[in-house]
Structure formats: C-alpha cells, structure tokens
Amino acid sequence: MARVEYQQSLDALEADLQELGEVALRAVRGAMNALETQDVELCDEVIAFDDEIDRRYHQLEKVVEELLAQQGPVASDLRLILAVLHNAIHLERIGDQSVTIAKLTKVAADLEPGSELVEGLTEMGERAIEMVRIALDSFSARNVERARSLPDLDDLIDRVNRQVAGNVLAMAHAPGTQEWGLRMIVVARCIERIGDNAVDIGEQTAFLVTGEFREFADASH
Amino acid sequence: MARVEMQSELDDLEASFQDAGTIVLRSIRGAVDALRTQDVELCDEVITFDDEIDERFMSIEKQVELVIARQAPVAGDLRLVLALLHSTLHLERVGDQCVTIAKLTKLASHLDTKRAVIESLVDMGERCVEMMRVALAAFGERDAERARGLHALDELVDRANRQVFGDVLGYVNDKDALEWGMRQLTVARCFERIGDNAVDIGEQTVFVVTGEFVEFTDASHDTPTP
Amino acid sequence: MSTELDVPPTNAEGDAAPEIEIDSRRMGELAGASASDVRSREAVFRIEELSVSYGTSLALHGTTLDIHRNAVTAFIGPSGCGKSTFIRCLNRMNDTIPDARVQGQVLYHGRDLYASNVDPVEVRRRIGMVFQKPNPFPKSIYDNIAFGPRMLGMKKDLGERVERVLRHAALWDEVKDRLKENALGLSGGQQQRLCIARAIAVEPDVILMDEPASALDPISTTRIEDLIHELKREYTIAIVTHNMQQAARVADMTAFFSVEVQDDGKARHGILVEYDLTTKIFTNPSDKRTEDYVTGRFG
C-alpha cells in the first residue's frame, strides 16, 4: 500500500467510526423517544437495530486487525488506530445501553408511568445525547479542551440520577407506579452509563493528541 | 532473536493481565464479603483499592501499545494482543462494578437488611467470582470449551437478578425497605454485569483459539433483565 | 469484475501483437468473490504442477497457482524455498541455466509459455524483470531507457517514451536535466527506479521483481513500494521478497513457500504451502507452517 493509500485507510477507518457514532446516537435517541412516548413499536425497532450497530462494530474491529497486521503502524498512526478501537467499544456499549432502556420501557409499558420521573429521565437522556455528540465531534476535531468539558456534563446527569432515586421513593405510596419506578432506576443507570462512555471517548481524544492516557474522572471519586 | 523478544513481551503482557485478573477477583470477593457482613470499612477498602486497579490497567494498555509498535505482531500473536486488550477492558469494567457495589452497600448500611435478598445477592456474587475464575483460567489455558461454558453459568446469574427484582417489588409499600431494596436492585445489576464481562472474556478466549469472534450472547437477543 | 478480454499491448508502430488467446474460463469462477477481490480478475498466469530440477536435484516441488491481472502477488519464504526459482519460470529465465529442467505447465493468457514455437525474447519483453542488484547499462540515462525500444523497432516518439516511463517510475524530476549523464552516477535507489523504467519502456504486460528493494535504504524502499502500488494499475506485478512486512504492505495476494526435507532426510526442495489474500495470510492463515513463518517462529 502506498503512503497515500495508507493515509486513506486511516481516514476511512475514522469515517467508519463516525458512522458508528451516528448509528449509536440514533439508537439512544430512539430509546429516549420510546421512553418518553411509551412507544412499544419504537422499542422493538431500537432492539432490532442493535444488530446493525454490532455489525458495524465487528467490521471496524476487522479493519483494525488488518491494518495492524499489514501496515505495522507506529507512533501517532498507532495511537489513532487504538483510539478508534477504544471508541468503537464505547459506542457499541452505548448501543447496548440503548437496547436495555428500550427493553425496560417495553416491559414497563403496561404499567402506570410517573410523569415527573419521565421528565427527569428525558432530561438525563438529552444530556447524554449531547455528551455523545460532543465526544464524537471533539474526537474528529482533535479538540482536547472540548473533550475535557465532558465530565462537567456528566455531573449534571449524576445529579438528575439522584433525583430519580428520590422520586421513586416518593412513589412508595402510589400503587402501580412503584414497579414502573423500580424499572426506571435501571433505565437511569443506563443513561448514566451512556454518559460515562461519552467521557471515555473524550479521554481517547486526549490520548490521541497528547500521547498520554489520563482519566478525566473515576468511578470511585 | 526478534522472535525471542516478541515471545517474551507477549508473555509479560499476558502475565500482567492475569495479575490484574487476580486483583479484580480480590475486589469481587471483597465486595461480596462487605455485602454479606454489611462491613462499611471493607467497603471503603474496595473503593480505595480501585485506584491501584486503574493504574494497572493503564499500564497494561501502555504495554499493548508498545508491543504493537515494537514487535508488529501478526496472525495469532496479534489476536492474542487484541484479546488481551479487550479482556483487560472487561476487567476494568468489573473493577468499576465492584466499586459501585461497595458504595451502595455503604449507602444502604444504615437501613434494615432483608436477609433473603442479601443471601440472593451473595449467591450471585459468589457465582460471579466463580465465573471470573473460570474465565481467567480458560484464557490462560486457551480452553475454548470451558470458555463457552460460561454462557450457561451466566444464565444462573441472570435468573438470580430477576429473582431479586421480584423480591424488592414486595417491599414497595414500606418506604425504608423500598429505599434499601432500590439500592440492592442496582447491586444485583452490577453482579449481572460482572457475569456478562466474564462471558465476554470467554469470547476473547475463543477468538484467540479459533481466529473468529463469535458472540455467546447479545444484548438485543437476551431475555429482558430488570 | 471486468469482462473485457484484454489483449497484450501492440508495439509502438501499431503492429498487431502476436495472437494470444485469453483464457476466460476462470472469469466468474470464483463464486462470492467481490468486485474488489483480485481473485475475481483474469488469471494472467495459470501455473499447474510446475516443478524445477537442477540435474537430478529437485529444487521446487509441483506448484499450482493463478496470478491475477493488475494485482501485486508476493512470494515469501525462507532461503531455499524455491521462490526465486519459481518466479524465474514465469519469464523463462531458467532457460539460461544448462541443467535446469522445468516440468508442468505455465499458461500465460491461456497459452503455453514453454511451447516450442514461443519466442523467449518476446516472452521477456512482455514479462519484464527487475533484479535485486540494480544493473543499469554503462550508458547515459537516456540510452538506458531508449535501448530496448530501439532494439524492438519502437523508434517513434522515443523522447516522449523516455519521459513517460521516467515519470511513471517517479524518476523524471530527478534526472530530467541530466539525461545525457552516465546512469552509473545515480544513487542505488535511483538506479533501481531506472531499471524499473527500463522494464516498462518496452510496454510489458507483467513485471517480475526479485527482491527489488533489499539492496536499498529504507527511504528508497518506501519509494519503490509506493511505485509498485502505482504500477499495478497498468501492469501485473509479481515480487519475491524476504521481507515479510513488505509483502504485508504491498501485496494483494501472498504465496508462502517453505522448505521440505525429502525422504532421504538430506535433500531439500521448495514447496508451496499456502496462497491466499495477503489479509488472510497475515491475520489468520490456514496452515500452521504459514502462521509459524509470519509470526517469526520459523527457523
């Protein structure tokens, strides 16, 4: 492969990643819409759609393996390939989180929803979507500063997550909604995990640019 | 000469991975013990211990990058390196789950516990320890059959998770019990995720052995878990 | 997949090239091969049970494989595996070795390369060769290139031809102001590119390369690899290399040859072990011997 074509394959790899990102975002949006509108059909679509995410993810992994085997990349090329690999993993996880949200929404569909809770979750979802968007954009632009802004957004999600727990407790006296509320605790956690994965993508931007891997935030802090 | 270096670097990388695995096993056991005995101090230990785990993971990632840059592994060697990378990420996830379990145990420690639920959770936790042990051993021995067997073990963990959900549903009319129950739901889910990650490490073992990546399970095809 | 029946180029005078039938049997044979998969392209060479002996000593065991149009095919393997012997059969270079015996069949565009009525000079025009050690003539740069075409009666627009092939070989800018200088004054990398230009000046169909970059520095090696990549658009290229990473980088298809010990426990001959897409050879080869070689466990 000539240098020009080698560079083209790296560019193509990155383009594949961004496409995977778009597809994962679609899944998150779909799951959150389905949650908001209690739309069971949309839930099914999101669940089925995960096959597409997985297909793209495995395809990307294969390309990474081939590039590593045939081109012997080093230095910044290698960092790019490793960063893309990590980000693909995070996006695939985001896809899985979306599926879980959709499944739970479906399971809870014939239960009474608590409207405050839906609002809280919808807000969390919007934050998470925003975070994934920012993470993907800052990776593509190699914008470390912007990537570093992600943990703060993540804090917002955490805050709402705690409110959700409070809300569910408050539902203790309203029969019917409690089971729904308990399911939603898991949904909230899924959204939180999407936010965490977005932060992880941000960390890869910093790794790519600086050559050093540093965590922005940590589960135990 | 280059081959000797390559093999040596691969061996080192794999040893680092197994070491990290041993440490994560300690973490799971710690979280399970803390849960069983409601020991807040042990919770704190698990939480602070996570920093050391994270350092090890970052070191393994660096090693992966260096092996690839220096040795340009191909074919089976490359698969091994990639499998070690993926498996290390799974271990990292498990470490995070342990921290969450410990934090929640701590958070809910002032509330009354329901013995039955604790027992279910401890049972789940012990299954997870077993699964992780099997996953690490199967990888080390390149035992694809044993790795595939993890899927069945995972079913048991998933079932226990659903059981816990059912139990907690029974507490909805008691506010304190509900609060405690909510935390335990998340703990159960953490164990379930630990099980999933052990299965994922199993998938990596099969990848190393066969050269093909096959998912044992898939999020969208699983029976729903709460 | 191209369905165009490709005929070897006519010479510069526009004279019709000697008739060579295109074997189109295998076009479309590969079920499932994608359009971008080189295996779906016409087989320029179909080699069947090709074996080579020097006197009574077997050097290369019966080998069968197809070489596809506009692909780069690499032959790799340890010393003594027969890869150089093999490639030399493709343009009848083994003819020059007195007790070399070639058995089996080499079909070039469907025609038996070793048939008695085939002109070996014409063979070597269409199937050019570049060697490990650059071997420019002790003449000017211009004359190095012009020599072949002149011999073949391709005299029309010679100056244009020289410029075209020097550009094609990524050498023009470096030599355009000193075409009359002796070629031996060029650097190793430049000389090798000159030899490539010389090979393509006579409008070959195939270019064979036997370790083309092993005598060069790393930067020149990269330039040669880039050049190979460009050249495959117009020519079919086969390359012998001891540098596995080079095969991994440049080749579409890779054939791994190894050494086999004969029954007497002493005599050795070369044998084709595995031939597949380069991607397959380097990510998940089918044969353990291939795996051992590409991961460096061999020898």
The pLDDT tens digits of the residues spanning C225-244 come to 989 999 999 999 999 999 98
pLDDT of C47 > 90? The answer is yes
Q: What is the pTM of this model?
A: 0.84
Name every residue whose Cβ is closer than 8 Å to that of residue A79 and which is 6 or more positions away in sequence. A207, A208, A211, B65
Alpha helices by DSSP H, listed for A72-149, are 75-107, 115-140, 144-148
CA–CA separation, A149 vs A204, rounded Å? 14
pLDDT at residue B100 is higher than 60: yes
Give the span between the Cα atoms of C239 and C84, in whole angstroms: 9
Q: Is residue B81 a contact partner of residue B60, using CB atoms and an 8 Å limit? A: no
For residue C279, give the nearest of A2, A70, A72 by CB distance. Answer: A70
- Tell me which residues of chain C, numbers 211 to 270, contact chain B at a CB-CB cutoff of 8 Å: 245, 248
Quote the ipTM score: 0.92
Q: pLDDT confidence of B166, banded at 50, 70, 90?
A: confident
| Rounded CA separation B156/B120 (Å) | 11
Mean pLDDT score across all residues of chain B: 90
Chain B residue with CA closest to C299: the answer is B3
Residues of chain C contacting B77 with CB distance shorter than 8 Å:
295
Of B173, C227, B40, C283, residue with least CA distance to A66 = C283
Q: Domains, chain B, ranges and CATH? A: 2-210 (1.20.58.220)
- Grouping H, G, I as helix, E, B as strand and the rest as coil, residue B175 is helix
The tokens describing A97, both together, are 């989180």
Interface of B with A in 66-85 (CB under 8 A): 68-69, 72-75, 78-79, 82, 85
What percent of chain C lies above the pLDDT cut of 70?
Answer: 87
Chain C residues with CB under 8 Å of A3 CB are 222, 226
> With pLDDT > 90 as the criterion, what percentage of chain C qualifies?
68
| Alpha-carbon gap: B83 to the closest alpha carbon of chain A (Å) | 11
**Residues of chain A positioned with their CB less than 8 A from the CB of B79:** 65
Beta strand spans in B86-194 (E)? none
In the numeric block, which tokens belong to residue A128? 């998470």
Minimum-distance CB partner of B2 among C282, C283, C296: C296
Contacts with C, B 104-133, CB within 8 Å: none
Q: Are A182 and B164 contacting, i.e. CB atoms less than 8 angstroms apart?
A: no
The residues that bridge with A30 in the sheet, in sequence order, are none
Assigned token pair, A216: 């922005």
A173: nearest CA partner in chain B: B173
- Residue B87's H or E segment, with its range, is helix B75-107
- Using a CB-CB cut-off of 8 Å, the residues of chain B touching A186 are 185-186, 189, 226
- Cα A28 from Cα A121, distance rounded (Å): 13
Residue B72 three-state SS? coil
Edge to edge, the sheet with strand C236-240 lists: C111-112, C100-108, C43-54, C57-68, C268-277, C253-261, C72-76, C236-240, C206-210, C127-130
CB C38 within 8 A of CB C71: yes
DSSP 8-state assignment for residue A173 = G
CB < 8 Å to C274, chain B: none
CA atoms in the 13 A half-sphere facing the CB of A106: 20
What are chain C's domains? 38-294 (3.40.50.300)
* Residue B75 touches partner C, C-beta closer than 8 Å: yes
Locate C64 and state its tokens.
């069968």
Tell if the CB–CB gap between A5 and C229 is shorter than 8 Å.
Answer: yes
What is the distance in angstroms between the Cα of B88 and the nearest Cα belonging to chain C?
Answer: 21
Three-state SS sequence of chain C: CCCCCCCCCCCCCCCCCCCCCCCCCCCCCCCCCCCCCHHHCCEEEEEEEEEEEECCEEEEEEEEEEEECCCEEEEECCCCCCHHHHHHHCCCHHHHCCCEEEEEEEEECCEECCCCCCCHHHHHHHEEEECCCCCCCCCEHHHHHHHHHHHCCCCCCHHHHHHHHHHHCCCHHHHCCCCCCEHHHCCHHHHHHHHHHHHHHCCCCEEEEECCCCCCCHHHHHHHHHHHHHHCCCCEEEEECCCHHHHHHHCCEEEEEEEEECCCCCCEEEEEEEEEEHHHHHHCCCCHHHHHHHCCCCC
Q: Which residue of B has its CA nearest to C281?
A: B75
**Residues in contact with A67: Cβ distance below 8 Å, sequence separation at least 6, in sequence order:** A9, A10, A13, A73, A81
pLDDT of residue C121: 86
The reported pLDDT for the residue numbered B179 is 82
Other C-beta atoms within 10 Å of A144: how many?
16
Cα–Cα dist C127/C199, whole Å: 9
Digit-coded pLDDT (tens) for C144-156: 999 999 998 988 9
- The residue type found at C298 is F
What angle, rounded to 10 degrees, do the helices at A75-107 and A3-37 form?
A: 20
Q: What is the pLDDT of residue B225?
A: 52
Q: List all residues 6 or more positions away from A220 whose beta carbon is below 8 Å from its beta carbon.
A: B47, B48, B50, B51, B99, B103
Flag whether pLDDT at C34 surpasses 60: no
Tell me the per-residue pLDDT of C51-67, one tens digit each, with 9 for 90 and over: 999 998 999 999 999 99
Among A2, A66, A70, the residue with its CB nearest the CB of C226 is: A2
Q: Which of residues 86-105 of B touch A (CB under 8 A)?
A: 86, 89, 96, 99-100, 103
Q: Does B223 touch chain A (CB under 8 A)?
A: no
Q: Mean per-residue pLDDT for B63-70?
A: 92
> Among residues of chain B, what percentage have pLDDT more than 70?
94
CATH homologous superfamily, domain A3-210: Phosphate transport system protein phou homolog 2; domain 2 (1.20.58.220)
Residues in chain C: 299
Would you state the pLDDT for residue C26? 35
Cβ neighbours around C18 below 10 Å, total: 11
> Which residue has better confidence, B201 or A75?
B201
C135 close to C186: Cβ distance less than 8 angstroms: no
Domain boundaries, chain A: 3-210
Mean pLDDT, chain C, integer: 86
Query: In whole angstroms, what is the distance from residue B136 CA to residue C97 CA?
Result: 59
Q: Are A16 and A56 in contact (CB under 8 A)?
A: yes
pLDDT along chain A (221 residues), means of 10: 82 97 97 94 96 96 95 90 97 97 91 81 94 97 96 90 81 70 89 95 95 72 42
Interhelix angle B175-210/B115-141, rounded to 10 degrees, is: 10
| Residue that the structure tokens 């579409």 belong to | C252
Of A146-155, B104-113, C84-93, minimum mean pLDDT range: B104-113
